[in-house]
């Protein structure tokens, strides 16, 4: 069989090359049914189901076309029909992002350049040092800012105490409501750190588990559940990938934001993501940079996302590095001081 690959979209290409692009509707129906089972999709009624099928089919065409171009060497990454495939771009951006840019200069006065000439490694992966907790799924809640903020703090706490303890994004979603933070409707990592400083700590994920919604704004922080704290935070200079690289190498996982508007990113499946349309001026999604490296000559940032492990590569993205600040990765980076 030609279908030895582990990446399902490649199989899709082989099955449907004569494809949407001309495949029998029964093959397409089968594909749709299988996709729904795999991603546990159930729709309320017939019209909703028909609409979702239509959206899915458009996305399928997009993915097939992209992967055909990728196999012809035109792209450095592939796309796949993941759990977002029945959603429009607008829906993904509304429901799964949530980094705010209303005030792009938010706490910009906390910026300082602290770079020395000391050499840094050519690749870094903080997962290998146990500084990164497992990938989670924010669900249909614009809480990426909270996941990103706890991610960088988990790394700094591990560095300080020796243990990696997952911290609670829900604590931030419910309780960090000042300085522009607004639960599932978005927020800033800087404001989250400000809350943690003023609150005197943040609970562990175990003592304050994620709920995928704002709990009626009921803050349930307890000092018994506290597992992290910080005393300040450092905002990085805007747009400088060299400084960002130095900070990732010397400090640990860094909280950052990207432009996550594009379909190519929603359906990212593997490889080094490099869509030239991913501009760097409007950012809408917070993530965690956990390292960097180079793959077949392509420099990349190793990025932890919060869209579950079904979003490839196992919840991680390799985003092109040194490509003129692609997707704005170096525009809003920050880390907490513990
Ligand atoms: C079908 O379900 C959708 C989504 O839940 C809903 O918005 C719509 O009103 C429903 N339509 C009917 C006819 O019940
Ligand atoms: C930054 O500015 C804010 C108000 O815009 C102020 O509250 C804060 O103290 C300043 N921080 C520093 C480190 O200067």
Co-location of 165 and 52 in the same domain: no
Residue with tokens 């050519």: 122
207 vs 178 pLDDT, higher one: 207
Q: Strand runs (DSSP E) across the chain, as ranges? A: 77-79, 124-125, 202-203, 226-228, 232-235, 254-258, 268-273, 285-295, 298-304, 316-320, 334-337
Q: Are residues 200 and 322 in the same domain?
A: yes
More confident call, 330 vs 214: 330
Q: Judge whether 108 lies within some domain.
A: yes
Question: Band of the pLDDT at 153, cuts 50, 70, 90?
Answer: very high
**Same-domain status, 313 and 214:** yes
Count structural domains, the chain: 2
Instruction: Please tell me the distance from the alpha carbon of residue 90 to that of residue 297, in angstroms, as a whole number.
Output: 34
DSSP letter at 142 equals B
- Alpha carbons within 13 angstroms on the beta-carbon side of residue 207 total 16
Q: Which of the four pLDDT bands, split at 50, 70 and 90, describes residue 24?
A: confident
Residue 4: the pLDDT is 26
Categorize the per-residue pLDDT at 111 as very low, low, confident or very high, splitting at 50, 70 and 90. low
Domain enclosing residue 308, as ranges: 89-337
6 part of a folded domain: no
Confidence at residue 96, expressed as pLDDT on a 0 to 100 scale: 81
Complete DSSP assignment for 254-288:
EEEEE----HHHHTEEEEEE--TT--SS---EEEE
Q: What is the pLDDT of residue 20?
A: 56
pLDDT band at 21 (very low <50, low <70, confident <90, very high): low
Residue 35: per-residue pLDDT: 96
For the Cβ of 109 lying below 6 angstroms from any atom of ligand 2, the answer is yes
How many angstroms does the Cα of residue 100 sit away from the middle of ligand 2? 19
What pLDDT does 82 receive? Answer: 95
Residue 187 main-chain phi, psi, to 5 deg: 180, -170
Position 260 in a domain: yes
User: Taking 90 as the threshold, does the pLDDT of residue 261 lie above it?
Assistant: yes
In this structure, are 41 and 111 located in the same domain? Answer: no
Look at residues 79, 109, 125 and tell me which one is the last residue of a structural domain.
79
Do residues 38 and 152 both lie within one domain? no
% residues pLDDT > 90 (the chain): 79
Two tokens, residue 139: 């669900």
CB 273 within 8 A of CB 320: yes
3 state SS of 108: helix
Position 45 in a domain = yes
Identify whether residues 72 and 103 lie together within a single domain: no
- One of 144, 184, 230, 327 is an active-site residue; which one? 144
pLDDT of residue 217: 64
Q: Give the predicted TM-score (pTM) of the model.
A: 0.87
- Give the number of other Cβ atoms within 10 Å of residue 39's Cβ: 14
> Is position 62 within any domain?
yes
Closest ligand 2 atom to Cα of 110: 13
In contact, 254 and 335? CB cutoff 8 Å: yes
Measured in Å, residue 82 CA sits from the centre of ligand 1 at: 24
pLDDT at 26 over 60: yes
Q: What is the pLDDT of residue 296?
A: 93
Looking at the structure, do residues 53 and 103 belong to the same domain, yes or no? no
One-character DSSP codes across 28-40: HHHHHHHHHHHTT
Instruction: Tell whether 321 and 195 lie within a shared domain.
Output: yes
- Do residues 64 and 178 share a domain? no
Tell me: do 310 and 257 sit in the same domain.
yes
Rounded mean pLDDT of the chain? Answer: 89
CATH code at position 314: 3.90.70.10
Q: What is the mean pLDDT of residues 143-153?
A: 97
pLDDT beyond 70 at 2: no
In terms of C-beta density within 10 A (0-12 exposed, 13-18 middle, 19 or more buried), how is residue 35 classed? buried
Lowest mean pLDDT among 41-50, 113-122, 247-256, 284-293: 113-122
The response to whether residue 47 sits with its C-beta less than 6 Å from ligand 1 reads yes
Asked if residue 4 belongs to a domain, the reply is no
25 lines ligand 2 (CB under 6 A): no
Is residue 144 very low, low, confident or very high in pLDDT (cuts 50, 70, 90)? Answer: very high
Alpha-carbon distance of 262 to 257, in angstroms, equals: 14
Which pLDDT belongs to residue 23? 64
- Catalytic annotation, pick one of 261, 305, 325, 327: 305
Lowest-pLDDT choice from 18-22, 52-56, 98-102, 151-155: 18-22
pLDDT at residue 299 is higher than 90: yes
- The reply to whether 96 and 71 lie within a common domain is no
Q: How far is the CA of 43 from the centre of ligand 1 (A)?
A: 9
Q: Given a cut of 90, is residue 19 above it in pLDDT?
A: no
pLDDT, average across residues 288-294: 98
Q: Which of 79, 110, 145 is the last residue of a domain?
A: 79
The arithmetic mean of pLDDT across residues 203-224, rounded, is 91
**Considering the domain boundaries, does residue 10 fall inside one?**
no
* C-beta separation of 86 from 55 below 8 A: yes
Residue 52 Cα to ligand 1 middle (Å): 12
For 52-107, write each residue's pLDDT tens digit: 999 999 999 999 999 999 999 999 999 999 999 999 999 998 888 878 765 656 67
Q: Is the predicted pLDDT of residue 22 greater than 70, yes or no?
A: no
pLDDT of residue 180: 87
Q: Which residues contact 1 (CB under 8 A, 6 or more apart)?
A: none
The verdict on residue 288 lying in a domain is yes
């Amino acid at each position: 069989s030609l279908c030895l690959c582990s990446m399902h979209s490649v199989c899709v290409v082989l099955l449907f090359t004569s494809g949407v692009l001309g495949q029998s509707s029964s093959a397409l129906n089968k594909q749709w049914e299988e996709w729904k089972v795999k991603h546990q999709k159930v729709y309320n009624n017939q019209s909703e189901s028909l609409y979702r099928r239509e959206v899915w089919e458009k996305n399928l065409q997009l993915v097939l076309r992209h992967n055909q171009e990728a196999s012809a060497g035109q792209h450095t990454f592939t796309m796949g029909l993941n759990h977002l495939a029945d959603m429009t771009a607008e829906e993904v951006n509304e429901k799964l992002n949530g980094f705010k840019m209303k005030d792009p200069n938010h706490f910009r006065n906390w910026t300082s350049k602290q770079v020395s000439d000391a050499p840094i490694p050519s690749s870094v992966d903080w997962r290998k040092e146990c500084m990164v907790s497992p990938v989670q799924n924010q669900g249909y809640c614009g809480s990426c800012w909270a996941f990103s903020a706890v991610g960088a703090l988990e790394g700094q706490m591990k560095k300080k105490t020796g243990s990696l303890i997952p911290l609670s994004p829900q604590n931030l979603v419910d309780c960090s409501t000042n300085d522009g933070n607004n639960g599932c409707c978005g927020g800033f990592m800087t404001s989250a750190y400000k809350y943690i400083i003023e609150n005197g700590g943040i609970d562990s994920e175990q003592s304050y588990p994620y709920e995928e919604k704002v709990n009626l704004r009921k803050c349930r922080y307890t000092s018994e559940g506290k597992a992290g704290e910080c005393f300040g935070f450092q905002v990085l200079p805007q747009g400088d990938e060299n400084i960002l690289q130095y900070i990732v190498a010397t400090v640990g996982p860094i909280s950052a934001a990207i432009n996550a508007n594009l379909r190519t990113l929603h359906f990212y499946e593997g490889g080094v993501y490099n869509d030239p349309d991913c501009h760097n001026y409007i950012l809408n999604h917070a993530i965690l940079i956990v390292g960097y490296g180079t793959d077949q000559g392509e420099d990349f940032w190793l990025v932890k996302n919060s869209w579950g492990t079904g979003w490839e590569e196992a919840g991680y993205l390799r985003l092109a590095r040194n490509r003129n600040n692609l997707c704005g990765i170096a525009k809003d980076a920050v880390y907490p001081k513990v």
